[in-house]
Amino acid sequence: MAGTLKLYSYWRSSAAYRVRVALNLKQLPHEIIPVHLVRDGGEQHAPAYRGINPQELVPTLLDGARVFRQSMAIIEYLDEAYAGAMALLPSTARERARVRALAQLVACDIHPLNNLRVMQFLERDFGTPQVERDRWTRHWIEDGFRAFEELLAGNSSTGLFCDGDTPTLADACLVPQVYNARRFGVDMAAFPTIARIEGECLALPAFDAARPENQPDAPGPT
């Protein structure tokens, strides 16, 4: 069944990035189907893709004939459907709640405020210049990272990774957001635990292979 997995992805989408990490951590063979979010007004808006995902967002996962949407739901599906591979959630209810809370801090509270469609809306409907859009993005990332850093540094459950010494759903969400933070000029020196964990993650082949620059649709050197 693992050979049938297809992921609709965009190289710089942090939501798709987190699913790529999950697929790699669970060592699930999969095909990447690029969806360019900018070219020609955004390929995600084309009727063919809208028929797969009415939200016109990436990622979308196909497992055979089954279609799965929303990155967090996709990752938890993979963790349950392919339980024999590496678990992305801990074994106890308390630990799972902590990992989900960390993951959702990124996926629900930071990322939605600075994703592509929000930036496009600010520019198109309010005429917000690039410098102010970048400031908006940094503000919400830094605001979320302050809480994330405190939750990591102040908890004995934090190990090499966000929860213990193996990567989980929380790490799969955190690393793509750190990529965005660096892209928009956030000073990661203010978040030493986050930066340390990012380093631990990116040293793993599963995270390295999921990096935006390592995707088949990433632009080549100019």
CATH class of the domain whose range is 2-87: alpha beta
Does residue 222 register a pLDDT over 90?
no
CA distance 45 to 48: 8
What is the percent of the chain where pLDDT is above 70? 98
Domain boundaries, the chain: 2-87, 93-208
Which pLDDT band, with edges at 50, 70 and 90, does 117 fall under? very high
Token pair for residue 122? 């600010």
Helices 169-183, 71-81: axis angle to 10 degrees equals: 150
Nearest to 109 by CA among 162, 145, 81, 149: 145
Which pLDDT score is estimated for 220? 80
Amino acid at 27: Q
CA distance 206 to 209: 5
CA distance 158 to 216: 34
Does residue 12 register a pLDDT over 50?
yes
Token pair for residue 7? 């992921």
Q: What is the mean pLDDT of residues 111-137?
A: 95
* Dihedrals phi, psi of 76, to nearest 5 degrees: -70, -35
Which pLDDT score is estimated for 154? 86
Least confident of 95-109, 124-138, 185-199, 208-222: 208-222
CATH of domain 93-208: 1.20.1050.10
Which pLDDT score is estimated for 85? 82
Q: How many CB atoms lie under 10 A from the CB of residue 158? A: 20
Does residue 1 register a pLDDT over 50?
no
Does residue 45 register a pLDDT over 80?
yes
The more confident residue out of 83 and 26 is: 26
Does residue 2 register a pLDDT over 50?
no
